[in-house]
Amino acid sequence: MTDEWIKRMGYKDWNDYQNHYRYRNGTRKELSKNKECASYLGTYISERLLAKIWNNEKVIRMPNGNRGYDFICGRGFKVDVKSSCFHNSELKDNWHFNINKNKITDYFLFLVFDKREDLNPLHIWLIKGDEIINTGKLNDKMGFMIYNNVDTLNKLRKYEQTDKLEKLILCCDKLK
């Protein structure tokens, strides 16, 4: 199959064709219906909602799967959106994010929810990639864990985006 043929059939490209084929045959669920998938929270929920709360500012949303970042803000900075639901573990209560030593992005935008069933936003933090967090630069880390305790939350207070969180909560309430 050629790209030309695929486009005449009404698909954007080979990936678009393959996705529609898999949805029809039941081998893959559409992202909007696959709540167990990590991309559901990260792409379908978080990136879409964040595009809405920054809609008055010049923000360019990158296509799904863009390497290293999800948005370019009005000032030209690359922003990688990371989201997590609350984890109860034997260690401590926390939110966990995969950073994968991402040096492409300028900023990480961390969005945390209470639990996957409710998806109530609790915090939004915007942290520069080369910021020293605990023992080193954020973008040198493979993973980043935020513990739900007073000390950790106080250390992150300077990165908190409370005005955006209020908008996000209103947006989520409308969707429920």
| pLDDT one-digit tens code per residue, 105-115 | 999 999 988 88
Q: What is the pLDDT of residue 61?
A: 83
Domain edges within the chain: 1-33, 36-175
- The pTM of the full predicted model, rounded to 2 decimals, is 0.76
* Side chain identity at residue 126, one-letter code: L
Torsion of CA 87, 92, 96, 100, to 10 degrees: -150
Terminal CA-CA length for the chain? 42
| pLDDT one-digit tens code per residue, 45-56 | 666 777 677 665
Least reliable range by pLDDT among 20-24, 35-39, 94-98, 107-111: 35-39
Q: Which CATH architecture has domain 36-175?
A: 3-Layer(aba) Sandwich (3.40)
Q: Name the residue among 105, 108, 102 with its Cα closest to residue 161.
A: 108
Choose between 122 and 13: higher pLDDT. Answer: 122
